[in-house]
């Protein structure tokens, strides 16, 4: 089958690999220039954390090792208090599991190479989808508007602000929502300090400050990419270099010390928005063509569980499975793929919940004690009691199943605690 994928970002490229492996002819259209020859966009989610769901999707294509070679493992979180005190909290019970910091641009280049290595994949850059006609796709290019014959199947992998989804949304009967947080994000850089990492590169660094937070992920060049997640008015409030410096010196003193270009970076880098988008269904017929959505185009989520790209990669595995189950009947496969919405709804909610955890709770002793108890339980009852973070980040268990399992564990833990209390009471009565 001839398939068009709109968007040659992470998910579009990975899907191209999966579809071409199934023998389909894939044309990828991307609005930006080829990132392998042009420079990366500045200050827009420069790096991300790849964990098991993403790695599994790469592994099935034999790409995992190559990708992970460029990534830096982060086995835990490092919390930075205002007084400079550091607290490390491992992500898994035995400290062996890590999420992996990788540059979005490097990953995208690798996946583009992987996609184009398939003889039945063609990529066209500088093509911005402007409309879907009757059996045609209209693009804007530097050379003016271009109309291409649409393939029978058009998959939108064109991100949160998907142009493909815009056409699906206009169909009566398509539910849709976009919900913004009152928070913006801004990226900054901590350069190497005397040629070395300024902080431990084996952690995701968090500066939890209640309503606001900053995080930092290590890069192979020994710098860190920082991201501020602040209320919009707070971001707008620092409107002079002096105010920026003063605020950072007070709130993030250890970071301020190692950020020589802080004020100019702050002034120059754009503010991003944080949005959750939901669409239902993810497929339909537009202009006589079968249209489907994957990744952020179908279910953009906020970044606080580090699952955006991982979830999109798992979409590709799931869509591949749906094609397998339906004998590559795309109409049936896209219908079947809709079952994944139960999962993406869960991770959308968890990602929103995790923001509160990251910016506020991780700084509290009670929270850290809870995590230690949780990890102790996991070690005592291996495979029986598993934390939600472990299930989300270090397994490929469908997200909705993760929530069902957590609910079962809690019921069971409640019953066990009650049984222990009764046993204790009986013992106490006996020995009194």
> What is the C-alpha to C-alpha distance for residues 107 and 127, in angstroms, rounded to an integer?
21
Asked if 273 and 184 touch (Cβ cutoff 8 Å), the reply is yes
CB nearer to a second copy: pick between 133 and 253: 133
Question: Does residue 45 bind a second copy (CB under 8 A)?
Answer: no
- Please report the sign of the dihedral spanned by the C-alpha atoms of residue 100, residue 103, residue 104, residue 109: negative
Reply yes or no: is the peptide bond before residue 281 cis, omega within 30 of 0: yes
Of residues 213-252, which lie at the interface with a second copy (CB under 8 A)?
232
- Please report the sign of the dihedral spanned by the C-alpha atoms of residue 330, residue 335, residue 341, residue 343: negative
CB neighbours of residue 80 within 10 Å: 23
CB neighbours of residue 185 within 10 Å: 23
Question: Does residue 273 bind a second copy (CB under 8 A)?
Answer: yes
CB nearer to a second copy: pick between 152 and 174: 174
Backbone angles phi, psi at 407, to 5 degrees: -65, -45
Q: Shortest distance, CB of residue 180 to a second copy, whole angstroms?
A: 5
Distance of CA 169 to the CA centre of its chain: 23
CB nearer to a second copy: pick between 245 and 278: 278
* Contact characters 178-207, a second copy, x per CB under 8 A: xxx---------------------------
CB nearer to a second copy: pick between 106 and 130: 130
Residue tagged 């409107």 (tokens): 239
Residue tagged 């397994």 (tokens): 395
Q: Shortest distance, CB of residue 278 to a second copy, whole angstroms?
A: 8
Q: Shortest distance, CB of residue 273 to a second copy, whole angstroms?
A: 4
Q: Shortest distance, CB of residue 105 to a second copy, whole angstroms?
A: 23
* Contact characters 150-179, a second copy, x per CB under 8 A: -------------------x--xxxxxxxx
Q: Shortest distance, CB of residue 23 to a second copy, whole angstroms?
A: 35
Contacts of 227 (CB under 8 A, 6+ apart): 185, 186, 187, 188, 214, 215, 216
**Token reading at 165:** 């989804």
Under rule CB under 8 A, how many of the chain's residues touch a second copy? Answer: 13
Q: Shortest distance, CB of residue 131 to a second copy, whole angstroms?
A: 13
Question: Does residue 136 bind a second copy (CB under 8 A)?
Answer: no
Q: Which of 275, 331, 336, 400 binds a second copy (CB under 8 A)?
A: 275
Instruction: Give the chain's end-to-end CA distance (angstroms, integer).
Output: 78
DSSP 151: P
CB nearer to a second copy: pick between 272 and 287: 272
Q: Shortest distance, CB of residue 286 to a second copy, whole angstroms?
A: 16
Which residues of this chain interact with a second copy, rule CB under 8 A? 169, 172-180, 232, 273, 275
């Amino acid at each position: 089958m001839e398939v068009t994928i709109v968007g040659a970002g992470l998910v579009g490229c990975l899907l191209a690999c999966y579809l071409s492996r199934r023998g389909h002819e894939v044309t990828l259209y991307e609005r930006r220039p080829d990132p392998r020859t042009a420079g990366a966009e500045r200050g827009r989610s420069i790096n991300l954390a790849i964990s098991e769901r993403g790695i599994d999707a790469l592994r099935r294509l034999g790409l995992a090792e190559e990708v992970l070679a460029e990534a830096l493992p982060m086995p835990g979180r490092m919390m930075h208090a205002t007084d400079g005190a550091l607290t490390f909290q491992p992500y898994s019970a035995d400290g062996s599991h890590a999420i992996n910091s990788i540059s979005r641009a490097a990953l995208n280049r690798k996946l583009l190479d992987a996609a184009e290595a398939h003889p039945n994949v063609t990529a066209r850059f500088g093509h911005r989808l402007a409309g879907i006609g009757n059996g045609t796709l209209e693009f804007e290019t530097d050379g003016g508007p271009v109309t291409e014959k649409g393939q029978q199947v058009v998959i939108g992998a064109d991100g949160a602000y998907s142009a493909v989804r815009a056409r699906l949304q206009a169909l009566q009967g398509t539910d849709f929502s976009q919900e913004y947080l009152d928070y913006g994000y801004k990226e900054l850089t901590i350069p190497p300090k005397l040629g070395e990492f300024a902080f431990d590169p084996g952690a995701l660094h968090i500066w939890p400050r209640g309503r606001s937070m900053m995080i930092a992920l290590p890069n192979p060049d020994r710098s860190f990419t920082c991201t501020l997640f602040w209320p919009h008015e707070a971001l707008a409030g620092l409107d002079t270099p002096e105010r920026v410096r003063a605020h950072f010196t007070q709130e993030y003193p250890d970071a301020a010390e190692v950020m020589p270009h802080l004020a100019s970076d702050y002034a120059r880098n754009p503010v991003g928005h944080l949005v959750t988008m939901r669409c239902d269904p993810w497929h339909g017929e537009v202009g006589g063509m079968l249209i489907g959505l994957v990744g952020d185009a179908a279910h953009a989520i906020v970044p606080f569980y580090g699952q955006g790209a991982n979830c999109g990669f798992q979409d590709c595995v799931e869509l591949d499975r749906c094609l397998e189950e339906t004998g590559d009947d795309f109409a049936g496969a896209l219908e079947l793929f809709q079952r994944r919405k139960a999962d993406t709804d869960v991770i959308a909610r968890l990602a929103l919940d995790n923001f509160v955890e990251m910016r506020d709770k991780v700084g509290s002793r009670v929270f850290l004690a809870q995590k230690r108890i949780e990890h102790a339980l996991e070690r005592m009852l291996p495979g029986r009691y598993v934390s939600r973070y472990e299930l989300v980040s270090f397994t490929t268990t469908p997200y909705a199943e993760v929530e069902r399992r957590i609910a079962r564990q809690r019921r069971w833990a409640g019953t066990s605690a009650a049984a222990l209390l009764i046993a204790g009471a009986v013992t106490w009565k006996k020995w009194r």
